[in-house]
Structure 1
Amino acid sequence: MTDMKIATVGVHVLDTHVIGIESIPDGSDGQLVETIRMSPAGTAGGTAVVLRRLGAEVLSFGAVGVDPVADTLLALLEREGVDVSGLVRKADHQTSASVIPVRPNGDRPAWHCIGANGAFTLDDLDRAALDGITHLHLGGPEFLGGEAAGELLAHARSLGAVTSVDILAPGDPDLLAWVAAALPHTDYLLPNDEQVLGFTGASSLADGARALVDAGAGCVAVTQGSKGALVVTADDVVGVPAYPVEAVDTTGCGDAFSAGFLRGLSLGRDPAGAARLGCATAAQVAQGIGTDAGTYDLDSVVAFAG
């Protein structure tokens, strides 16, 4: 099996999922719910967990606070086998956290605190710790800014690593301008459909993704929820369908897609084949609560993908 040693850099969050929310109680009233569950999440942290389950060696880099939220998040990541030695503690910031009330129909609004993710800089990352990586995945380049993100990605490439980027913020042309300097150093950009259309103002996903390729990204693999993914390069546009499953909670499905896609690349798949593994991985996560839902591994996901 192809070795994969990946650095997942950037956004780490502790998600608290509350299942069975029909409404917010009036006044100070209470309400019983089905489940309250915590899970590691974020465009770096959630992707790290899934990559580890798919057999990759994973080193996480980012910032957390000095608080019980960090203790819980680090424990959950370590339980999955993620190396958390690159996560620095910031005494003057709380750990990033979200509370996600999941409605019976699957809708999942969220309350989110950016916390220490907003304080992470390149000075917090020991570059020597990146030696030997085969991949670097940057989740949330907007917190570093395009220049710093580009510097990190260029360094990873100088080590021979494949680079990938997942932007957390909603699609907006100003946000794209803020991170544009990172795109020429990005082998694989992994946005969702709303981001692509928002960043570019394009009338179709394919046109929007092509615009991002023109801006420097080597390949753009766009997630489209239940519609699957669209993989766009300078030469090709390929649609990859989602796998039909009974979805319980779609939180973390984008991070799971990223993990499966990157693991597929490490195994020698072409981008479309990697996207199929990404969609199959997302399907596992959708059937449970949180990014760490389920008990799948690489063999079972490959078998599921067919």
Structure 2
Amino acid sequence: MKIATVGVHVLDTHVIGIESIPEGSGGQLVETIRMSPAGTAGGTAVVLSRLGAEVLSFGGVGADPIGSVLAGLLAAEGIDVSGLVRKDDHQTSASVIPVRPNGDRPAWHCIGANGAFTLDDLPLAALEGITHLHLGGPEFLGGEAAGQLLAHGRSIGAVTSLDILAPGDPDMLAWIAAALPHTDYLLPNDEQVLGFTGASSLVEGAQALVAAGVGCVAVTQGAEGALVVTADEVIEVPAYPIEVVDTTGCGDAFSAGFLRGLALGRDLRGAAELGCAAAAQVAQGLGTDAGAYSLDSMIAFAAEPPRAP
């Protein structure tokens, strides 16, 4: 599996032990401050690399220290970051995530260079030889450009996948609609599916997205696991029993596990089980790069009996 992960790359900073924002210029001691690579392209790239895929990342980062840290963290995971383009007039996209004692995790986010990345920043020759093309955050490119990129991926024999960062909204779906017919696998969450389509159920919403041109929709449902829908079947895969520490990046981890499972020849159910297993690993620590695992250990974990839905 040689995959190009294109689009949103973010540096997340988790702050653990936030009780409140101190008054005035006051301070507060916290338990942990930790940085990790994230984003619908960057976070997915990390988990894919850990699961044995050859990964090339393409996206925009700033010419700033945040960009250097993000690129360094990705490279340390074995990811080819030569496709990350420095944008002099933009900072690197970053989030600060204060985690409260009860597990709530509001976030401050700066879009930064992700909003400045265009197809002109991605030489198509750099995609030669890939088997998969994953686009995270098509809303920044727009549907027409995203569709052009995915169509090119298909023309060179790559399997295409799409993960949307924005909340579910019919206008957002219309904005990226031109990309859907070129998408083999759409990887949204449950709130996005319902918001995009206005459907009364996830199955109906996913079926509407298939009718819009997507080959398969694999929906994450948090603690309920995943739902996989094609024109011919509906598959439910429950989550695995774990003690959740932080859910940041779980959707990206599912995408990685699901795509890796397909590349290994698993059927849709087996791929979704590997996706849920990857999400479970990430949820047990801080950030998308949480935990230590390999493809073999993940497959073994996925073989354990999951929690009933």
Q: TM-score range by the shorter chain?
A: over 0.9
CA contact 1:106–1:250 (8 Å) conserved in 2: no
Q: For the residues of structure 1 that align with 2:145 and 2:267, how far apart are their CA atoms?
A: 29
Q: Which of 96, 106, 109 is the equivalent residue of 1:112?
A: 109
Spell out the pairing of 1:170-185 with structure 2 (5 A cutoff): 170-185=167-182
Corresponding residue for 1:50?
47
Q: Which of 81, 87, 105 is the equivalent residue of 1:90?
A: 87
The residue type equivalent to 1:201 in the other structure is G
Give the SS at the match of 1:296: coil
Q: Which of 63, 66, 72 is the equivalent residue of 1:66?
A: 63
Count, aligned residues: 303
Corresponding residue for 2:194?
197
Q: Which of 143, 148, 152 is the equivalent residue of 2:149?
A: 152
Q: Which of 11, 26, 30 is the equivalent residue of 1:14?
A: 11
CA contact 1:228–1:240 (8 Å) conserved in 2: yes
Corresponding residue for 1:265?
262
The residue type equivalent to 2:228 in the other structure is V
The residue type equivalent to 1:272 in the other structure is R
The residue type equivalent to 2:107 in the other structure is A
Per the TM alignment, residue 266 of structure 1 is displaced from its structure 2 partner at its CA by 0.2
CA distances 1:147-170 after superposition (whole Å, capped 9, x unpaired): 000000000000100000000000
Give the SS at the match of 1:250: coil
* Structure 2: gaps (5+ residues): 304-309
| Percent identity of equivalent pairs | 84
Spell out the pairing of 1:235-274 with structure 2 (5 A cutoff): 235-274=232-271
Cα RMSD for the two superposed structures: 0.6
Per the TM alignment, residue 105 of structure 1 is displaced from its structure 2 partner at its CA by 2.0
Per the TM alignment, residue 244 of structure 1 is displaced from its structure 2 partner at its CA by 1.1
CA contact 1:11–1:45 (8 Å) conserved in 2: yes
CA distances 1:189-246 after superposition (whole Å, capped 9, x unpaired): 0000000000000000000000000001000000000110000001111110000101
CA contact 1:12–1:40 (8 Å) conserved in 2: yes
Corresponding residue for 1:188?
185
Q: For the residues of structure 2 that align with 1:187 and 1:102, how far apart are their CA atoms?
A: 35
Per the TM alignment, residue 107 of structure 1 is displaced from its structure 2 partner at its CA by 1.5
User: Is 1:296–2:293 an aligned residue pair?
Assistant: yes
* Structure 1: gaps (5+ residues): none
TM-score, length of structure 1 as denominator length:
0.98
TM-score, length of structure 2 as denominator length:
0.97
User: Is 1:5–2:2 an aligned residue pair?
Assistant: yes
Q: For the residues of structure 2 that align with 1:221 and 1:124, how far apart are their CA atoms?
A: 29
